[in-house]
Amino acid sequence: MSYPIGHFYCNLDSKGRVSFPSEFKEQFGDQVNEGFVLHPDPYVKCLELYTVRDWRDLLARLSAKLSQFKRKQEAVMRRYDSGSRFVKLDSNGRLLIPKDLIEKGLLEKEIVITSVMTKMEIWNKELYEQSLDTEISDEEYFDILENL
């Protein structure tokens, strides 16, 4: 799937709800009604957000490469799927983020919902802004783009 374009600064309320940006809803079209899967990012402190269809495709690709009969690979499967949650928008267009995922993503009141080519991410605003400046240097960024 082609994910929506953009990133939005939003507020998480005291019950863990965030209004899903209307521009994202428009770009998702009918898929927004199918729900999403929230998943702790394995590399950084944020949450990944997938359409249900894309989540199933991702798991199918992983299971094609991993064997449940190899102990370490089964542990990878278990660990990767750990913490994943199916979520839907409520009647007011809000996404309820479970408390344990709020903690895993270090989310606070101010968050960022952003699209990252093959998925979306939900970040603590401060951590998101720091990551843009610290995860990769300008030189590395330009080198990678040039070598694509």
Q: What is the pLDDT of residues 99-128, one digit of tens each?
A: 999 999 999 999 999 998 889 999 999 999
The predicted structure's pLDDT at residue 87: 95
At residue 20, the 3 state secondary structure works out as coil
d(CA 32, CA 36): 8
* Positions of the chain with pLDDT lower than 50, given as ranges: none
* Residue 11 backbone dihedrals phi, psi, to 5 degrees: -115, 135
Nearest to 50 by CA among 83, 111, 1: 1
Q: Determine the straight-line distance between the first and last CA of the chain, rounded to whole angstroms.
A: 21
The predicted structure's pLDDT at residue 82: 86
**Superfamily, domain 7-146:** Transcriptional regulator MraZ domain (3.40.1550.20)
pTM of the model: 0.88
The predicted structure's pLDDT at residue 1: 55
The predicted structure's pLDDT at residue 6: 86
The predicted structure's pLDDT at residue 124: 97
The predicted structure's pLDDT at residue 123: 97
